[in-house]
Structure 1
């Protein structure tokens, strides 16, 4: 491998940054591409000489980790490899040790795709950091044989202790909690956490093949499974995550999955958070319900939420953020349980689930949801929908939203207001909301809808996606 320059390798790779991390097809994540991203990332870290690396359960992740490790070693870094581990576990370890980290994961997207997430010693990289990574021109070198990597369990151990050290060990006594394991990176540590806190854990649905669980577009099969498993195993709740363990799925006592933003809202109430940052795609009742002293609406993606934390912390004591996909970001240290829980400004799946499970000793989860304002959100996606078509559609809605609706054959709907912060979010004359946005991680078009009933919200999503598929 001679005369390869990192920026050129990246530019010709077909790999691009999405809402959180660099994503693309596995065939495009060649060793030199992984190396180029790694070299450019580590070049912006001035002081550290150690780097933490973790992976999810995708078949391609280990070889990508080898290439990242080889590139780091070529720069004089000591590589700490943690094998399969949840993204928040890797991030928490790296922040504790004040070192950078690289997580090899495609999160919820199919196994033929993968990705790289980067963490500075103080947390997730910013959008400005992404631009530097894309533009640095440095030599790329790799050995003829990539290094073998022996995994340490230290990141998983520290992540488990993050919760066991602050929560009473009998907090979940008497509860039967199912863990839908599939291929989640955290499937072997969640039973340890819940079990150590007193729950009876039932492990369900483990898979030897990668399962692309999308917490914003839960399949009908997984909706049905949840209800069946809760009934069959007499569960008080069912817990799962996406592939890299940073987006939670938590069911209520009836096996109904909670929407991620509703989970985040309830968790933030129990933690007595003062100010929250949430993407514009979240349920409108979060901003309009008077639950918090301040709600900051952002673009979709954890980096945009994290960008608001410093500003919010100047005014408010307890700051957090959460997304429609359920990922929970703690923006400052807060007191909870027996001690202070440290900030973790990256998506986490365990904290919101634990907080809700503990709270149900006083009020069942389904009753907590019922007590919220009657605004219901649904979402789904068109997969393998070319990004060019998505941008064309959004341009139509941006220029003439009513004409775009008419083009889709929805002549009875009237656009009252539009929000173009991220995609196109339309308030209709029926007081329903429809939000269209291309995925930042894959060639998909996402549709979010909000209405006064879940049935209507789901019907809106299905109708819009059906019409777009027919017309585009």
Structure 2
């Protein structure tokens, strides 16, 4: 990778500009992933390749297939399908998988997500892939057979993708009781999500009355955490006349949910995760430190234990695996973006849902709607009764690690600096440094700073006694950090 390349690689995969990704970079990283599996005793006979609906994904999927063939490995086309559907099929077949997706980032960018036969790759896998990539000969895969381009009409048929989609559909309908959502009116914001048709099918299969909304013929970068003003405006417009009990959607590859109540208020991702964990009767919940601290109180009241992690699905997976090793079940993980990871099988009313240790957008959407139907209460009331607290979050962009790291170090280690930094506010009662610096105050509020793992950004997360207080505290937190970074 050149010094000027936009490509960034981590446990969540490879991302960057399409212009930097197509061709050799896609082939070499896909090849490095497969060579690493072989070197670690997991040599695959085949690899599943799936993709989202952005314009560059078929070309990049073809690059990944060429890399596999260069190593004598069969590439099985799964076409366009949700990431959790591809991951589930990979686990079922005992095969690795590569998902071509940039998730929620714009169409001029794309990425690759790598899955071992057991699920998401680990931090150890990440290091192994980088080592294998460094050892690849220049020009890897250039001479590989080009049969199967991943384009319309190619012999790369995608029959495996149909099987994966059918299995994912059946998985969701079978677990939630027949007609479980009967009587609910649900709007599905389709945009360019790869799950846009499957989500309609699942909801209708469970008895909901569904209206498809906002279908796009070009890629729309819907972010389920940092909601775009245009998405908020659309949801407000659709819910204005009160015809829906909820409006639901997902990001581009359907591993993160988006859900709004009847008034158009968008639910926080950690609230969706909390509702799901409660619905499933989780014994252990694994979630990052960026999820609200109210989770301990809510799940503790249900007799569950909460395991806090650093930000990122690999850390959530590690915590879930540790809980399983101790004999806990059911084990549920979720991130602040709402993606739910199911660490163990779950039994409910005689029905069983198999473990799926990767982020899934469908499970939290369906669990929340099932609670609405079962409790016969509006979604807004269910959320209010949950008591998940009030939060706000934002970021300072263009803050490189060389600037954010010294600031975080001083905040964590210099008591005088921290006291002056938060002067005039509530008294500090403690802090933790699991991921960034999370400062606790005597009024129950929290201010948490951490550097982004995949962008030059300093993120700020706030909890407060009211939403207005959270918004005010966030605005202060961003301004104070900006001044500190500038030495003021």
- TM-score, length of structure 2 as denominator length: 0.88
The answer to whether structure 1 residue 316 and structure 2 residue 324 are counterparts is no
- Judged with a 3 Å threshold, the aligned counterparts in structure 2 of structure 1 residues 423 and 112 are, in CA distance, closer, same or farther, namely farther
Aligned 8 A contact 1:19 1:440 in 2: no
Deviations 1:403-461 (A, max 9, x none): 26756x86545543221111221113443111122222333332211111122212222
Whether contact under 8 Å (1:166, 1:337) holds in the other structure is no
| Matching residue of 1:325 | 337
| Aligned match of 2:27 | 35
Deviation of 1:145 (Å): 8.1
Say what the alpha-carbon RMSD is for the aligned residues: 2.4
DSSP 3-state at the match of 1:44? helix
Contact in 2 for aligned 1:275/1:292 (Cα 8 Å): no
- Counterpart of 2:88 in structure 1 is 92
1:332-371 paired onto structure 2 within 5 Å = 332-336=344-348, 339-361=351-373, 362=375, 363-371=377-385
Q: Distance in 1 between matches of 2:244 and 2:404?
A: 41
Picking from 274, 294, 319, the partner of 1:265 is: 274
The whole-number CA distance in structure 1 between the counterparts of 2:431 and 2:307 is: 18
1:288-307 alignment, distance < 5 Å? 288-289=297-298, 290=300, 291-307=302-318
1:378 to 369, 392, 414: 392
Moved more, 95-104 or 305-314: 305-314
User: In the alignment, is the contact (CA less than 8 A) between 1:10 and 1:37 conserved in 2?
Assistant: no
- In the alignment, the residues of structure 1 paired with residue 416 and residue 364 of structure 2 have an alpha-carbon distance, to the nearest angstrom, of 39
Gap runs ≥5 in structure 2: 151-155
CA deviation map 1:1-34 (0-9, x unaligned): xxxxxxxx58985533346222233333242221
Number of positions where the alignment pairs a residue of Structure 1 with one of Structure 2: 463
Residue 117 of structure 2: aligned partner? 121
Q: 1:261 touches 1:322 (CA, 8 Å); kept in 2?
A: yes
Q: 1:59 to 1:337 in 2, by over 3 A?
A: farther
Structure 1 counterpart of 2:149: 148
Cα deviation for residue 51 of structure 1 reads 0.7
Q: Is the 8 A contact 2:69 2:145 kept in 1?
A: no
Q: 1:438, 1:444 within 8 Å by CA — same for their partners in 2?
A: yes
Q: What is the CA–CA distance in structure 1 between the aligned matches of 2:408 and 2:19, rounded to whole Å?
A: 30
Greater RCO, 1 or 2 (C-alpha within 8 Å, sep 6+): 1
1:458 aligns with 2:471: yes
Aligned pairs for 1:232-247 (under 5 A) are 232=241, 234-247=243-256
**Cα distance 1:62–1:437, how it changes in 2: closer, same or farther (>3 A)?**
farther
Inter-CA distance 198–142: structure 2 relative to 1 (3 Å threshold): same
Shift of the 19–378 alpha-carbon distance from structure 1 to 2, 3 Å rule, reads: farther
Alignment map for 1:168-187 (pairs within 5 Å): 168-187=177-196
Cα distance in 2 for partners of 1:350, 1:423 equals 30
1:81 aligned to which of 77, 81, 86 = 77
1:300: Cα distance to partner? 0.6
Larger displacement relative to structure 2 (123-132 or 366-375): 366-375
Give the CA deviation at 1:166: 2.6
Cross-structure match for 2:153: none
User: Is 2:292–2:388's contact at 8 Å kept on the other side of the alignment?
Assistant: no
CA shift for structure 1 position 284: 0.3
- In structure 2, the CA distance between the partners of 1:60 and 1:446, relative to structure 1 (3 Å rule), is farther
How does the TM-score come out when normalised to structure 1? 0.91
Per-residue deviation, residues 245-273 of structure 1 (Å, max 9, x unmatched): 10111122322111111111111111111
**CA separation of 1:374 and 1:124: change in aligned 2, threshold 3 A:** closer
Contact 2:16 2:109 in 1 (8 A): yes
In 1, distance between residues paired with 2:418 and 2:107?
A: 34
- Conserved? CA contact 1:374–1:453, under 8 Å: no
